[in-house]
Amino acid sequence: MNPEPAPSRKFSLRRLSAMMVKEFAQILRDPSTFLIALAMPLLLLFLFGYAVSLDTSGTKVALVLEDSSAPALGLAETYRASPYFAVETMRSIPEARRQMIASEIRGVIVIPQDFGRMVQAGRMPVIQLITDGSQPNAASFIAAHGQGVFQNWLATEGLPGATAHAPVIDVSPRFWYNPGLKSRYFLVPGSIAIVMTMIGTLLTALVVAREWERGTMEALMATPVSMVEFIVSKIVPYYLLALASMTLCTVIAVWAFGVPFRGSLIALYLIASAFLMPALGLGLFISSATRNQFVASQIALLASFLPTFLLSGFVYEISSMPVWIQAITYAVPARYLIPSLQTLFLTGDIWSHFLPNIAAMLGFGFLFFFLSFRVTRRSLG
Amino acid sequence: MQRLRAMIVKEIWSLLRDPKARIVLVLPPLIQLFIFTFATTLDVRNVDIAVLDRSGGVHSAELVQRIAGSPNFRKVVYLASSDDLERAIDNQQVIAALVIDAGFDRALTRNPPARVGLVLDGRRSNAAQIVAGYVSQIAAGMDTEAVPAMQGGVQVTNWFNPSLDFIWFTLPALIVIIVSIAGLAITSQTVSREREMGTFDQLLVSPLRLHEILIGKIVPPFLVGTFNGTLYLVVAQLFFGIPYTGSLLLFFPALFIYLLALIGLGLFVSSLSMTQQQSFLGSFVVTVPLMILSGYASPIENMPDWLQVVTHIDPARYFLIIVQGLFLKDMPAVDVFHQLWPLVLIALVTLSASAWLFRSRME
């Protein structure tokens, strides 16, 4: 055991380029690289473009009609015509309950026996909405839109309940930057962050862990290659690969999914580069600390992919999380990337928004590189 | 039989030999369960809102006061100009800005309805829509006191989860997701690791028969999956207080069949890959669609029709319905079987496909 560091080796551009050529050759030779750099981004964009949609419509509900009067039938028709619901008529509430347990329907609209009589008597008719609480999001949706349809029906029929509810204040909402309220517009830019995490952290962690596992790392360390050269030679190829993949995603997002791109390319590459620093640094750190491909892959999944997916504000609002989880999100580099990407695509270049985020990402980048430097060096002692 | 036992023991050892790997099998899934249970909520709470009040009257102050008092909003930022408003939205300082015009108070007292503008951040269109709902509700509340109208007309009942607690939805779903991630990750490594280490050839020249090797590969992830599934079942009830209303006699058969379908998928990926890196990436390529098409990330009925058809080959889709049904709805055996037979079919297909691929790769 020699506590002194290895005799200082001068930085050599020739050695570095030789190392990078080797690294590139390794990337190009392995078919899984194409899988991750080309197929993965396409798959992710495809899934987030088509499969993940928070724009609810056509929710399956049952309609239980206990009354056959004209007003009851009219209201039933209004529900059938609503684009929010796909209505199926059922004979009784127990039947609807069975269907709901089987997850065939998400809610029940009950028009009770005395509905027509109430309307004729000029009194406020009452209906019942039953929702499937096991799907809370769909449940609140059904409650909100079910009431909306009913209020509209009351208004068009000129019934008393409606007039009493005429609002004193009329709120007219305007949704900036995404007036069509397409969830795809924010999910697709967000999925670019996931692609970059995949390449930056997961792939890098696996590659370097493999070198440790196979013992080629020791072989490398015995050569005159210095730490800086080693790290740079590992980083640059994956940095370029990630940028290439990000470019591909951006092109597809704009041309295939019609997501507007209102910012500048310079800002896009600057933000992406800033994010790749912590992503690559974390990948290096995980691989040097674990030196086992299976463990590295699991840790990388837990420390980078899942937080990018769940703790970055990508789909789930950070402000709604408990305070201790909100604190954790500050340590997730993607938290700074995703709002920047969404702003870049939908709003434009808002530098006062980008710069603090870029600074935070670079800060994490330095931290992770420092840590992986320490871990790699100590292990050679 | 003795050979088979030796094979299984060997496989379990190779999974548990490395102390780090032992920890990785149990700890990360538990961390995921705790963090993601709390993180994945589509509720919108504690948001910041801005107000540009050009009226400065009694009623506008009252409206702002009510918004500030709502538990859904955390902070109210007062703006001086529309430039401020643009900056606050662009920098995502606030998710929405309420614009009250100078004539608001007069309009409200003389000829209602008085109009207020609400600018929302479309970059977070989902949360923005919910915030718009909150503001409209508060605004509507302003008049119910002035005009004592008949409330109701619609009586809303939530079955199975009366207070619409989001955790009751998330936790059962996360059990499915985490069992899947861990199961696929372990299985997909088994064959490719042997190949990378060179021990695969040793296995082939040993007297072990094909089905013995395969069973040996299936048992360890099956045991880990059963252990994790049982652990979460207990944690969900003890730590999170989620009611489990169904029968355990239905949960475990469903878990076993789901694990077999999953392991078949994992083995297929593993036999296809030459290196561990490939198999990891392969399992990732399988896991992500498995999760997203299961109906957990967003409801299946929101997807385009052709994609809804595709979700029928996703085993997680069926297991998710079973687990959610057994937790909250006391799902009867008939309904469980209705979801279970496609799962059996998928398990048969994935297991035989992986056996076929494994055999053809041996030659």
Q: Is A266 on the interface with B (CB under 8 A)?
A: no
Phi and psi, residue B244, nearest 5°? -110, 105
Q: Residue A223: helix, strand or coil by DSSP?
A: coil
Would you give the distance in Å from CA A271 to the centre of its chain? 18
How many helices (H) and strands (E) in chain B?
14, 5
Chain A residue with Cα closest to B156: A129
CA atoms of A306 and B252, how far apart (whole Å): 27
Average pLDDT score over chain A: 84
Q: Is B237 on the interface with A (CB under 8 A)?
A: no
Most confident listed range (A135-149, A215-229, A330-344, B13-27): A330-344
Whether B150 shows a pLDDT value over 50: the answer reads no
Q: Give the strand pairing for B114-121 and B96-100.
A: antiparallel
DSSP element (H, E) containing B87: helix B82-90
pTM of the predicted protein model: 0.82
Kindly report the nearest CA distance between residue A381 and chain B, in angstroms.
22
Whether A6 shows a pLDDT value over 70: the answer reads no
pLDDT reported for residue A3: 47
Per mean pLDDT, which range of B31-45, B69-83, B153-167, B309-323 is the poorest?
B31-45
- Rounding to the nearest 10 degrees, give the CA dihedral for residues B293, B294, B295, B300: 50
- Give me the residues of B, 330-349, that contact A with CB < 8 A: 330-332, 335, 338
- For B122, which of A52, A178, A317 is closest by C-beta distance? A178
- Give me the residues of A, 121-160, that contact B with CB < 8 A: 124-140, 143-144, 146-147, 150-151, 154, 160
Chain B residue with Cα closest to A172: B117
Indicate yes or no: CB of B281 within 8 angstroms of CB of A32. yes
Q: Is A380 on the interface with B (CB under 8 A)?
A: no
Indicate yes or no: CB of B292 within 8 angstroms of CB of A183. no
For residue A159, name the pLDDT band (cuts at 50, 70, 90).
low
Chain B residue with Cα closest to A302: B28
Indicate yes or no: CB of A170 within 8 angstroms of CB of B115. yes
- For A134, which of B47, B292, B324 is closest by C-beta distance? B324
- Chain B residues with CB-CB distance to A325 below 8 A: 35, 38-39
CA atoms of B260 and B184, how far apart (whole Å): 11
Question: Bridge partners of A126?
Answer: none
| Residue B111 burial (10 A CB sphere; 0-12, 13-18, 19+) | exposed
Whether A344 shows a pLDDT value over 60: the answer reads yes
For residue A175, name the pLDDT band (cuts at 50, 70, 90).
confident
Average pLDDT over residues B61-71: 88
The question of ipTM being above 0.95 is answered as no
- Give me the residues of A, 67-86, that contact B with CB < 8 A: 86
pLDDT reported for residue A166: 55
CA atoms of B148 and A323, how far apart (whole Å): 39
pLDDT reported for residue A330: 93
pLDDT reported for residue B350: 94
> Exposure string (b/e) for B224-245, b if CB count within 10 Å is 16 or more?
bbeebbeebbebbeeebebebe
CB of A257 closer than 8 Å to CB of A188: yes
Which one is predicted more confidently, B342 or B110? Answer: B342
- For A246-281, the DSSP string reads HHHHHHHHHHTS-----S-HHHHHHHHHHHHHHHHH
Q: Pick from B4, B2, B13: which is nearest to B223 by CA?
A: B13
Most confident listed range (A173-177, A227-231, A233-237, A327-331): A327-331
Total beta-carbon pairs less than 8 A apart between chain A and chain B: 344
Whether A256 shows a pLDDT value over 80: the answer reads yes
Most confident listed range (A11-25, A357-371, B22-36, B266-280): A357-371
Whether A73 shows a pLDDT value over 60: the answer reads yes
pLDDT reported for residue B338: 93
Kindly report the nearest CA distance between residue A173 and chain B, in angstroms.
5
Whether A380 shows a pLDDT value over 60: the answer reads no
DSSP element (H, E) containing A156: helix A136-157
Average pLDDT score over chain B: 86
Average pLDDT over residues B284-291: 88
* Best of A26, A194, A212, A317 to mutate (most B CBs within 10 Å, chain B): A317
- Chain A residues with CB-CB distance to B47 below 8 A: 317, 319
Average pLDDT over residues A102-129: 87
CB of B265 closer than 8 Å to CB of B185: no
Whether B251 shows a pLDDT value over 60: the answer reads yes
Q: Pick from B321, B22, B37: which is nearest to A102 by CA?
A: B321
* Best of A294, A306, A337 to mutate (most B CBs within 10 Å, chain B): A294
Which tokens sit at A41?
Answer: 């981004």
Indicate yes or no: CB of B152 within 8 angstroms of CB of A124. yes
Average pLDDT over residues B156-176: 87
Q: Strand order of the sheet with strand B114-121? A: A169-176, B114-121, B96-100, B47-53, B73-78
A333 cis-preceded (ω within 30 degrees of 0): no
Residue B106: partners with Cβ closer than 8 Å, 6 or more residues away: B57
Indicate yes or no: CB of B120 within 8 angstroms of CB of A30. no
pLDDT reported for residue A203: 84
Q: Is A46 on the interface with B (CB under 8 A)?
A: no
Per mean pLDDT, which range of A8-12, A240-244, A310-314, B186-190 is the poorest?
A8-12
Indicate yes or no: CB of B90 within 8 angstroms of CB of A207. no
